[in-house]
């Protein structure tokens, strides 16, 4: 599908992923909401508008209407660039939305409850969608710290532990994120990647000022494959959030030098309960 527009909102979906219709996923874009100075931005982050949570709730309501999910079931966590994975149970479903008093601290969410909508927020960091056709899903926010920590592989292991998921049956999608050309880092970060993923050329000399580039998407792919996800089951968007030509589509922490007035949301949900024929 790539980008498709409904009710004035463009949503990105990863081609080939979850085409059995039992689970839904999307990644939001820049416009179609009520946020920012323009009043048109589709910001998905409470942190970006701490004094206007109603804006974020309205923006999420619009995404829910376009996707057909129940916005009272949207569940999100306070993201801290760590490697904590939380299983979303009925008790905490709706955290930060219909249960504003419930706070989860995590960069990965998993669930097996149909209708619960997992949500993470992104401003260049990679969204990882995980789908077990036996009836479980996961959603991970993997920035560079998460990539070094292999949080995507840890989410796969946690699905195995909690739901009996066979990693070999997982399909994964890597959504839009900063690409391996745009993600320019200083030597200490590059060295962390080289130590975490040795001898695969994960970092490259950027060719100026002693800087390096790092391929976040490739690091996450490696973590998933090491975690037992078959290489052929990993779908990649290839979309770069930080590229200048995508400035009208995505927010980018890097391109906008941290002055971005919003973040994108990644959403994933199980449509119906198994057992499926």
Least CB distance to Zn ion at residue 177 (A): 9
- Nearest approach in angstroms of CB 240 to Zn ion is 3
Strand, coil or helix: what is 60? helix
State which of positions 11-30 bind Zn ion (CB under 5 A).
none
Distance (Å, whole) CA 213 – CA 242? 13
From 78-86, 169-177, 219-227, 234-242, give the range in contact with Zn ion by CB under 5 A. Answer: 234-242
Q: Which of 164, 165, 118 lies closest to 138 in space, CA to CA?
A: 118
Q: Is 182 in the site for Zn ion (CB under 5 A)?
A: yes
182/177 Cα distance (integer angstroms)? 10
Single residue of 240, 263, 264, 268 touching Zn ion by CB under 5 A? 240
Task: Note if the bond before 275 is cis, omega within 30 degrees.
Answer: yes
**Does residue 206 belong to the site contacting Zn ion (CB under 5 A)?**
no
CB of 250 to Zn ion, least distance (A): 11
Contact predicate 95/60, CB 8 Å: no
Q: Which of 133, 206, 243, 247 binds Zn ion (CB under 5 A)?
A: 243
User: Among the candidate windows 8-16, 30-38, 182-190, 261-269, which touches Zn ion by CB under 5 A?
Assistant: 182-190
Q: Which stretch binds Zn ion (CB under 5 A): 138-146, 165-173, 177-185, 201-209?
A: 177-185
CA atoms 103, 97, 161, 140: torsion sign: negative
What is the CA 99 to chain-centroid distance, rounded?
A: 21
Strand ranges (DSSP E) for 49-93?
74-76, 85-87
Does 179 bind Zn ion (CB under 5 A)? Our answer is yes
Contact 195, 223 (CB under 8 A): no
Only one of the segments 27-35, 91-99, 204-212, 243-251 lies at the binding site for Zn ion (rule: CB under 5 A); that segment is 243-251
Taking CB under 5 A as the rule, does residue 160 contact Zn ion? Answer: no
Q: At residue 199, what are phi and psi to the nearest 5 degrees? A: 65, 20
For the CB of residue 183, give the shortest distance to Zn ion in the complex, in Å.
8
Q: Name the residues that contact Zn ion, by CB under 5 A.
A: 179, 182, 240, 243
């Amino acid at each position: 599908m790539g980008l498709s527009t409904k009710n004035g909102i463009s949503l990105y979906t990863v081609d080939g992923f979850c085409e059995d219709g039992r689970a839904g996923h999307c990644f939001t874009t820049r416009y179609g909401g009520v946020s920012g100075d323009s009043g048109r931005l589709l910001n998905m982050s409470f942190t970006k508008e701490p004094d206007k949570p109603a804006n974020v709730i309205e923006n999420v309501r619009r995404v829910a209407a376009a996707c057909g999910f129940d916005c009272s079931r949207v569940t999100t966590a306070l993201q801290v660039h760590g490697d904590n994975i939380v299983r979303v149970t009925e008790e905490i479903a709706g955290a930060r939305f219909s249960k504003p008093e419930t706070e989860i601290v995590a960069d990965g969410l998993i669930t097996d409850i149909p209708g619960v909508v997992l949500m993470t927020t992104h401003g260049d960091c990679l969204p990882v969608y995980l789908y077990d056709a036996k009836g479980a899903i996961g959603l991970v926010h993997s920035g560079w710290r998460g990539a070094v920590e292999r949080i995507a592989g840890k989410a796969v292991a946690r699905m195995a532990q909690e739901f009996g998921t066979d990693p070999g049956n997982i399909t994964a999608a890597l959504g839009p994120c900063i690409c391996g050309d745009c993600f320019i880092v200083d030597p200490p970060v590059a060295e962390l990647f080289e130590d975490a993923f040795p001898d695969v050329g994960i970092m490259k000399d950027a060719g100026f000022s002693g800087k390096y580039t790092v391929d976040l998407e490739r690091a996450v792919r490696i973590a998933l494959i090491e975690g037992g996800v078959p290489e052929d089951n990993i779908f990649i968007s290839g979309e770069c959030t930080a590229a200048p030509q995508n400035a009208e589509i995505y927010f980018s922490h890097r391109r906008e030098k941290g002055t971005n007035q919003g973040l994108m949301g990644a959403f994933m949900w199980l449509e119906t309960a198994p057992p499926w024929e």
